[in-house]
């Protein structure tokens, strides 16, 4: 069983659990098990086409799975997965009040 750490704002969808232990051989399997167990989480993490939302990053221990084998990355029982969003922005981009 791998451990998945749940960010604070998503705990309302996981019966307030801050971490969940789930079985799965790959990141994709563990994420599928997670959203099966907590269906309301699904729309937070995946879009209508079933793709992971662009701002969602998954870390295996301290490594971004994008730099491993993405969602085919193997997961061992001793591993910890974290869900970490990408956040950026800026005052440019729409000509509204910017320089």
Shortest separation between residue 5's beta carbon and another protein, angstroms = 8
Angle (CA) 12 59 57, round 5° = 65
Greatest pairwise CA separation for the chain in angstroms: 52
Q: Contacts with another protein in 30-49 (CB under 8 A)?
A: 43-44, 47
Candidates 3, 28, 57, 70: give the one binding another protein (CB under 8 A).
57
Burial class of 31 by CB neighbour count within 10 A (0 to 12, 13 to 18, 19+): buried
Positions in the binding site for another protein (CB under 8 A) = 5, 7-10, 18, 43-44, 47, 53-55, 57, 59, 62, 64, 82, 84-94, 96-99
């Amino acid at each position: 069983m791998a451990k998945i750490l749940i960010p604070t704002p998503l705990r309302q969808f996981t019966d307030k659990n801050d971490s969940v232990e789930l079985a799965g051989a790959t990141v994709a399997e563990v994420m599928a098990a997670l959203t099966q167990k907590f269906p309301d989480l699904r729309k937070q993490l995946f879009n209508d086409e079933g793709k992971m939302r662009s701002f969602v990053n998954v870390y295996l221990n301290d490594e971004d799975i994008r730099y491993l084998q993405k969602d085919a990355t193997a997961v061992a029982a001793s591993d910890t997965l974290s869900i970490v969003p990408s956040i950026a922005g800026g005052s440019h981009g729409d000509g509204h009040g910017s320089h």
